[in-house]
Amino acid sequence: MSVESVFPRLEPLLPRVQKPIQYVGGELNSTVKDWDAAAVRWALMYPDAYEVGLPNQGVMILYEVLNEVADVLAERTYAVWPDMEKLMREHSVPQFTVDAHRPVGAFDVFGVSFSTELGYTNLLNALDLAGIPLEAKDRGADDPIVLIGGHASFNPEPIADFIDAAVVGDGEQAVLQVTDVIRAWKAEGRPGGRDELLFRLAATGGVYVPRFYDVDYLDDGRIQRVAPNRSGVPWRVSKHTVMDLDEWPYPKQPLVPLAETVHERMSVEIFRGCTRGCRFCQAGMITRPVRERSITGIGEMVEKGLKATGFEEVGLLSLSSADHSEIAEVAKGLADRYTEDKIGLSLPSTRVDAFNIDLANELTRNGRRSGLTFAPEGGSERMRKVINKMVSEEDLIRTVATAYGNGWRQVKLYFMCGLPTETDEDVLQIAEMAKKVIAKGREVSGSRDIRCTVSIGGFVPKPHTPFQWAPQLDHKTTDERLQKLRDVIRADKQYGKSIGFRYHDGKPGIVEGLLSRGDRRVGKVIRAVWEDGGRFDGWSEHFSYDRWMRCADKALADDPVDVDWYTTRERDWNEVLPWDHLDSGLDKDWLWEDWQDALDEVEVEDCRWTPCFDCGVCPQMGTEIQIGPTGQKLLPLSVVK
Amino acid sequence: MPEGPPPAPAVQKLRLRYAKRGRLRFTSHRDFQRAFERALRRSEVPMAYSAGFTPHPKVSYAGAAPTGVASEAEYLELSVARRCEPAELCALLDASLPPGLDVLEVVEAAPGNLAERLQASVWEIRLPEVEPETAAKAVAAFMGAESVQVERMTKNGMRTFDARAAVAALDSPLERGTPSDDEIDAGHPGVDGSGDRPCAILRLVVRHTTPAVRPDDVLSGLRLVADLAPPVPAAVTRLAQGPLDAETGAVTDPLAPEHAVTSTGNEEL
């Protein structure tokens, strides 16, 4: 049965909304396949606005991997802004894909990638606009399987009622395995209906189907146990790990939007995983082990990607890009190849050391040296030991001295507030550090025209990290602490004017904390917030803390738990955590030891350069560290001009 | 501060006409600029660059159609550092841009300022579900008025100006039109131009003045003088822009000097 485009109904609405281009598709390198010729059809969503969702690497990769399979079709959909939502509801236009404007409800799978929990209300809105029942239990044979992935799916419990399934870990191979299961089930004539399909997915051991697990609670509100409610379903669901990134050079044909988006560059993931061991960092914990893309693999992706897109900038992505074993050769090789073509290179996420200044200089051979960003994360030496961010103040000052000496005029320092065991004094140290940076900068550059911007984010404890047991700092104390810091910086006559200060208030962090470490009972809160009009919670102009608190009070009134219980409460070693049955490979005992080490201010090295610390991931997942050096170089491209 | 080598000098100036069609009429001018500059990179056009820290390819755009309005007659100029064959460049750039942003012709610039030649535009305004008779009455009222003060929200707030004086012609043929078939041209699946709804079609010639009078302003004017309120947003297309012949009222080809050179060249062969 073919499916009609909703475009004729959408088109008259487009002149009436902001930035209509975001709803029309037609991006370079996008794909529209024949509906009837496809055996399995995916609608992929990044649950935020198009301008944020389109550049998302995860969705872009899966879109291409799936469309490369002859009998598989994948299209994309994004969260629509409230002006469009209103018109769609008035004119009965369902949630649609931007590729061929097909209704999302007609697909086999509705795959949603969550990098952040703040997209949950957008999921509910998209389901509702698509005409898909909000709760998985109410869905019928013709509704898509609602499947989620992304970092937030490492604890999918808060949205367990709304999803049919979750995939944990790397998606490239996982989506193909899911596709195979669906293809076979459809070819057999859909035996056993939706339930049988979900069972087959669960039985693979790599797909979590919440309905097949029961959660029991103790009287005090803690979880008693989580257990499968039918045989053939594993007790724990394992994460997926892609080995050998060179085998997966995606995206090969990156999407180039017509609309303006947040990142407009050719992004190449130079490695996946990070073992620096920063204790606050969920990404570093759940993506182990480190798997590098080779220097030649990177060179090839950049070359092909630039040809396919015409982008003017290359971003070398990873969790800590300067840690690639051949980063200097990569940077030099790419700069040699592309400087003349006016292609910019950028290296987000770098650590604090002098080596990075050399790198940064290499990346800006012809360009303007405006600003460098470093992330000491903790203001005091003590705090940095707690979070295992091994940067001494001396390192930092030496690094910024080199930076200012090389013509850089602005240094941005990123910190967190609300870390475990933190006191006012730890945070006030940030001001001291910034002052020293400015003093050093003036000395080295001989100029007063230098700046240091201090940027502060609130810490939110995340599942599958050593801080998963930690109490989150309440928003009042966070705000007071930041206020004190701001006052100290402002009051400084000598340096205050050279120091910029950027921070967010603590309230959104509490909601993020509720959603990050919540369990199935939090689903009621999410639903209530969405019903009350909650959308786009990652956007300050749409986010309402009061709405979240009001809805949480009401929805959790009959439970022995509340928002504080989920956020500011410290957990014990023996508490069953809502995500314990999702296996990131990390050994829970190791995480606990690391949590204790944090409290004792004991640091842990990076296992790339030292013996194994038994975090458990490699043996549990059957994976290994894959790093260079390969010893190869990027040769100049022979360009025929 | 690091210094780069000086940019290669421009050796040839080319003029280009392009169309914005179908669903890609929703590209804003900024969107088009980014798309065009990426197409230049993909097709490895030897662009001339401006000097400075962030060199920009030398492209200048002339009076772009508003977002949401289709066009068959948008113009830009570009300078290259190595001579290019205009017809080849045309094919290359057209293939490199998404369908719906279509390069229609490229010519080597003849002397004279292109922007100065773009004195007026011809617009087609399709009004689905409006009876041609109703539209004709509104047009007569508008053209009969001395001035029609309309309001438009600008960056500096609400502004009131005359939408009538700049209008050189506004016709409403009494035949029944059908909805635009742009969507079929753009290769968009599932959309067709069939249907027997009424659809009035206006043909509007507007002089380029300051402030610019857009088709939207004329529609506001029609609403003001004759209460013409289309139930569906109008589908607007710029059909042409160029010099305005004061005697005939016709908008002529802005690339006529270039075409004259080309045809002379051909005769010599």
Is the per-residue pLDDT at A282 higher than 50? yes
Q: Does A164 map to a domain?
A: yes
A57 with A206, same domain: the answer is yes
Q: Would an 8 Å CB–CB cutoff place B18 in contact with chain A?
A: no
pLDDT tens digits for range A567-577: 999 999 999 99
For tokens 């944990």, what's the residue? Answer: A168
Query: Taking CA atoms, what residue in B is nearest to A26?
Result: B98
Q: Does A540 map to a domain?
A: no
**Nearest alpha-carbon partner for B101 in B182, B12, B207:** B182
Which comes out higher in pLDDT, residue A400 or A32?
Answer: A32
Which range among A208-212, B229-233, B253-257 shows the weakest confidence by mean pLDDT?
Answer: B229-233
Q: What burial class does residue A321 get, using C-beta atoms within 10 Å of its C-beta: 0-12 exposed, 13-18 middle, 19+ buried?
A: buried
**Nearest CA distance, B252 vs chain A (angstrom):** 30
A50 phi/psi in degrees, rounded to 5: -50, -45
Instruction: Give the integer Cα–Cα distance in Å for A174 and A367.
Output: 41
A96 with A193, same domain: the answer is yes
pLDDT tens digits for range A140-149: 999 999 999 9
Is the per-residue pLDDT at A404 higher than 90? no
Contact A201, A232 (CB under 8 A): no
pLDDT band with cut points at 50, 70 and 90 for residue A399: confident
> Would you state the pLDDT for residue B191?
34
> Would you state the pLDDT for residue B175?
57
SS3 of residue A190 by DSSP: coil
Contact B33, B1 (CB under 8 A): no
Q: Domain containing A322: what range?
A: 267-366+603-633
The two beta strands, A582-583 and A237-238, are parallel
**Nearest CA distance, B195 vs chain A (angstrom):** 12
Q: Does A596 map to a domain?
A: no
pLDDT tens digits for range A499-508: 999 998 999 9
Average pLDDT over residues A175-197: 98
**Nearest CA distance, B109 vs chain A (angstrom):** 24
Q: Does A55 map to a domain?
A: yes
Which comes out higher in pLDDT, residue A446 or A161?
Answer: A161
pLDDT tens digits for range B4-21: 567 778 999 999 999 999
- For helices A507-516 and A545-555, the axis angle rounded to 10 degrees is 40
A151 with A81, same domain: the answer is yes
A225 with A323, same domain: the answer is no
Q: Which two tokens stand for residue A514?
A: 């509720």
Q: What burial class does residue A252 get, using C-beta atoms within 10 Å of its C-beta: 0-12 exposed, 13-18 middle, 19+ buried?
A: middle
CATH number at residue A357: 3.30.750.210
- Show Cβ contacts of residue A340 under 8 Å, excluding neighbours closer than 6 positions: none
Instruction: Give the integer Cα–Cα distance in Å for A620 and A613.
Output: 14
**Nearest CA distance, A399 vs chain B (angstrom):** 19
Contact A10, A93 (CB under 8 A): yes
Q: Does A72 map to a domain?
A: yes
Q: What burial class does residue A336 get, using C-beta atoms within 10 Å of its C-beta: 0-12 exposed, 13-18 middle, 19+ buried?
A: middle
Contact A245, A172 (CB under 8 A): no
Domain limit, last residue, from A238, A253, A288: A238
DSSP label of A559? S
- Partners of A225 in the β-ladder: A216
Is the per-residue pLDDT at B3 higher than 90? no
DSSP label of A165? E
Neighbours of A339 (CB within 10 A): 18
In this complex, the residue of A7, A21, A364 whose CB is nearest that of residue B190 is: A7
Is the per-residue pLDDT at B81 higher than 80? yes
- Partners of B71 in the β-ladder: B20, B238
Sign of CA dihedral A189, A193, A199, A204: positive
A25 with A135, same domain: the answer is yes
- Partners of B235 in the β-ladder: B126
pLDDT band with cut points at 50, 70 and 90 for residue B269: very low
pLDDT band with cut points at 50, 70 and 90 for residue B172: confident
Contact A434, A452 (CB under 8 A): yes
Q: Which positions in chain A touch B233 (Cβ < 8 Å)?
A: 12, 15-16
A256 phi/psi in degrees, rounded to 5: -115, 110
Average pLDDT over residues A230-242: 97
DSSP notation for A432-489: HHHHHHHHHHHHHHS-S--EEEEEEEE----TTSGGGGSPPPPHHHHHHHHHHHHHHH
Instruction: Please give the share of chain A, as a percent, with pLDDT higher than 70.
Output: 97
Q: Which two tokens stand for residue B261?
A: 């050179």
Instruction: Give the integer Cα–Cα distance in Å for A273 and B23.
Output: 41
The amino acid that residue A92 corresponds to is: S
- Show Cβ contacts of residue B35 under 8 Å, excluding neighbours closer than 6 positions: A28, A256, A258, B27, B97, B98, B101
Interface test with A, best of B3, B33, B34 (most A CBs within 10 A): B34
- Partners of B20 in the β-ladder: B71, B101
Q: Does A154 map to a domain?
A: yes
A52 with A178, same domain: the answer is yes
CATH number at residue A31: 3.40.50.280
Domain limit, last residue, from A238, A259, A289: A238
> Would you state the pLDDT for residue A407?
83
Average pLDDT over residues B91-106: 96
A98 with A229, same domain: the answer is yes
Instruction: Give the integer Cα–Cα distance in Å for A101 and A333.
Output: 42
**Nearest CA distance, A15 vs chain B (angstrom):** 6
Would the pTM count as exceeding 0.90?
yes
Which comes out higher in pLDDT, residue A226 or A343?
Answer: A226
Which uninterrupted H or E stretch holds A271? strand A271-272
In this complex, the residue of A5, A25, A32 whose CB is nearest that of residue B191 is: A5
Q: What are the angstrom distances between the C-alpha of A355 and each of A173, A274, A338, A361, B107?
A: 36, 19, 22, 10, 51
Instruction: Give the integer Cα–Cα distance in Å for A343 and A336.
Output: 11
**Nearest CA distance, A34 vs chain B (angstrom):** 10
> Would you state the pLDDT for residue A367?
66
Which uninterrupted H or E stretch holds A60? helix A57-67
In this complex, the residue of B2, B24, B232 whose CB is nearest that of residue A26 is: B24
* Contact (CB<8Å) A342/B27: no
A218 with A116, same domain: the answer is yes
pLDDT tens digits for range B37-59: 999 999 999 999 888 777 789 99
A68 with A173, same domain: the answer is yes
Query: Taking CA atoms, what residue in A is nearest to B186?
Result: A26
**Nearest alpha-carbon partner for A320 in A405, A390, A400:** A390
- What total number of domains does chain A contain? 2
Terminal alpha carbon distance of chain B: 53
Is the per-residue pLDDT at A447 higher than 50? yes
Q: Does A451 map to a domain?
A: no
Three-state SS annotation for chain B: CCCCCCCCCCCEEEEEEEEECHHHHHCCHHHHHHHHHHHHHHCCCCECECCCCCCCECEEEECCCCCCCEEEEEEEEEEECCCCCHHHHHHHHHHHCCCCEEEEEEEECCCCCHHHHCCEEEEEEEEECCCHHHHHHHHHHHHHCCCCEEEEEECCEEEEEECCCCEEEEECCCCCCCCCCHHHHCCCCCCCCCCCCCEEEEEEEEECCCCCCCHHHHHHHHHHHHCCCCCCCCEEEEEEEECECCCCCCECCCCHHHHHHHHHHHHHC
Q: Which positions in chain B touch A11 (Cβ < 8 Å)?
A: 23, 183, 191
- Partners of B74 in the β-ladder: B18
ipTM: 0.89
Mean pLDDT over each residue of chain B, to the nearest integer: 87
For tokens 């075409």, what's the residue? Answer: B259
Which range among A15-29, A297-311, B193-207 shows the weakest confidence by mean pLDDT?
Answer: B193-207
Name all contacts of B86-90 with Cβ < 8 Å and 24+ positions apart: B86/B14, B89/B14, B89/B45, B90/B16
A204 with A271, same domain: the answer is no
Contact A91, B232 (CB under 8 A): no
pLDDT band with cut points at 50, 70 and 90 for residue B181: very low
How many A-B residue pairs are in contact by the CB < 8 A criterion? 98
> Would you state the pLDDT for residue A410?
86
Q: Would an 8 Å CB–CB cutoff place B193 in contact with chain A?
A: no
pLDDT tens digits for range B232-245: 899 999 999 999 99
Domains of chain B: 12-116 (3.30.70.580), 119-242 (3.30.70)
> Would you state the pLDDT for residue B55?
79
> Would you state the pLDDT for residue A401?
87
- Show Cβ contacts of residue A556 under 8 Å, excluding neighbours closer than 6 positions: A521, A524, A525, A562, A563
Which comes out higher in pLDDT, residue B196 or A612?
Answer: A612
Average pLDDT over residues A541-561: 98
> Would you state the pLDDT for residue A640?
47
In this complex, the residue of A8, A21, A368 whose CB is nearest that of residue B26 is: A21
Interface test with B, best of A21, A36, A362, A449 (most B CBs within 10 A): A21
A468 phi/psi in degrees, rounded to 5: -65, -20
- Show Cβ contacts of residue B165 under 8 Å, excluding neighbours closer than 6 positions: B147, B209
**Nearest alpha-carbon partner for A520 in A585, A478, A570, A566:** A566
Contact A278, A387 (CB under 8 A): yes
Domain limit, last residue, from A238, A259, A278: A238
SS3 of residue A91 by DSSP: coil
Helices (H), A71-159: 82-90, 120-130
Q: Does A292 map to a domain?
A: yes
> Would you state the pLDDT for residue B51?
81
> Would you state the pLDDT for residue B8?
79
> Would you state the pLDDT for residue A480?
97
Which comes out higher in pLDDT, residue A434 or A369?
Answer: A434
DSSP notation for A315-382: EEESSSGGGSTTHHHHHHHHHHHHGGGT-EEE--S--SSHHHHHHHHHHTSSS---EEEEEEESSSHH
Instruction: Give the integer Cα–Cα distance in Å for A149 and A62.
Output: 11
A494 phi/psi in degrees, rounded to 5: -75, -40
A293 with A210, same domain: the answer is no
Query: Taking CA atoms, what residue in B is nearest to A304?
Result: B42
Q: What are the angstrom distances between the C-alpha of A39 and each of A61, A176, A203, B200?
A: 20, 13, 22, 44
pLDDT band with cut points at 50, 70 and 90 for residue B193: very low
A156 with A201, same domain: the answer is yes
pLDDT tens digits for range A406-439: 888 888 999 999 999 999 999 999 999 999 999 9
User: Longest C-alpha distance within chain A, in Å?
Assistant: 77
Q: Which positions in chain B touch A312 (Cβ < 8 Å)?
A: 37-38, 41
Contact A241, A29 (CB under 8 A): no
Q: Which positions in chain A touch B42 (Cβ < 8 Å)?
A: 307-310
- Up-side HSE of residue B94: CA atoms within 13 Å toward CB? 15
